[in-house]
Amino acid sequence: MPGRRKLEEHRRSIGEIRDIMNSMKLLAHMETRKLDHLLGTQHAVVSSIETVAADFVSAYPEATSAMQAAQEVYLVIGSERGFCGDFNETLLRQLERIQQDKQGKDFPILVTAGQKLHTSLPDDPRVAARLDGAGVAEEVAAVLTRVVDTLAALQTQYGALTLYALYHAVDDDTLATQQLLPPFQDYLDRPSRFSLPPVLNLKPTDFLIELSDHYLFAALHEIFYASLMAENQQRVQHLEGAVKHLDEESDELRRQSNARRQEEIIEEIEVILLSAASLAETLPKRR
């Protein structure tokens, strides 16, 4: 068994690491509280746009014919930071399943967000752009600016895009795949809620383009918030397990240290008893 001093030093080191991880867990938990509020607000915005889009498409279905696309692009949203379990690995496994479903066809272009995801896709020819992700909610707006610029560059190169977002859903252990471009395809077969079409101040195609831009930006906000929320939820869970493991290891080191101290006390008592016995033997001789 190692010496008691080494055991105590190791235990102090574990305590410092435990405090750091516990602080990281608390910060992640605080981030989830903030994102929960932002997600509720953003979901209301997206739902409002979708309601308008459903009414519009049901009245002017011919306007969507101008938005057909060919080149597929997957926006894959990973984590910018670590300590979140297999958050990025599950995204990669889903990408492989998507590729298998293509049955030999060309795989879509990838746009990835998140430094930790990039390390799992080194030199992958499918990746057209590697973007920094968001570590906190306040960074989402800057990330979306980079995403939109990247999509604009790809649209210039390939023409119209079919854009999908692959990301972690909130409060669920599954992944979500959402089509963002061309938008509103699910509304084509819906019956109109009104007997007369809505009155427009723009041409239907122009109105749809403007509405699609608003929808894309709002939907991307919701998606990145959801991904960041799921990431922090996994981080809290992962760090809780790590903190618990460190507490158990610290308790074991304390037990070993106490046992080693007991051994030292016994050794000290034995030395005292031996010294007393030797002293008792020498005293009569001196007399």
* Residue 99 pLDDT: 85
Cβ atoms of 91 and 74 closer than 8 Å: no
Using the structure block, give the residue that is written with the tokens 């050794």.
Answer: 267
Q: How confident is the model at residue 48 (pLDDT cuts 50, 70, 90)?
A: very high
Cβ atoms of 155 and 213 closer than 8 Å: no
* Residue 81 pLDDT: 92
Cβ atoms of 24 and 246 closer than 8 Å: no
| Other Cβ atoms within 10 Å of 145 Cβ, number | 11
Q: How confident is the model at residue 192 (pLDDT cuts 50, 70, 90)?
A: confident
pLDDT surpassing 70 at residue 111: yes
Query: What CA–CA distances, in Å, run from 147 to 3, 128, 196, 211?
Result: 56, 12, 38, 19
Per the model's pLDDT, the better-predicted residue between 213 and 283 turns out to be: 213
Q: What is the pLDDT of the chain when averaged over all its residues?
A: 89
Q: Is residue 126 part of a domain?
A: yes
User: With pLDDT > 90 as the criterion, what percentage of the chain qualifies?
Assistant: 59
Q: Is residue 253 part of a domain?
A: no
Q: Is residue 16 part of a domain?
A: no
Which of 12-26, 189-203, 238-252 has the lowest average pLDDT? 189-203
Q: Is residue 287 part of a domain?
A: no
Q: Is residue 244 part of a domain?
A: no
CATH number of domain containing 66: 3.40.1380.10
* Residue 283 pLDDT: 58
Q: Is residue 29 part of a domain?
A: yes
User: What tokens appear for 4 in the block?
Assistant: 């008691």
**Whole-prediction pTM value?**
0.85
* Residue 33 pLDDT: 95
Q: Distance between CA atoms of 101 and 109, rounded to whole angstroms?
A: 15
Q: Which domain holds residue 143?
A: 21-186+201-239
DSSP assignment letter at 159: S
Q: Is residue 118 part of a domain?
A: yes
Q: Is residue 119 part of a domain?
A: yes
pLDDT surpassing 80 at residue 68: no
Average pLDDT over every residue of 66-94: 90
pLDDT surpassing 70 at residue 69: no
* Residue 3 pLDDT: 78
Q: How confident is the model at residue 120 (pLDDT cuts 50, 70, 90)?
A: confident
* Counted domains in the chain: 1
Q: How confident is the model at residue 272 (pLDDT cuts 50, 70, 90)?
A: confident
Q: How confident is the model at residue 40 (pLDDT cuts 50, 70, 90)?
A: very high
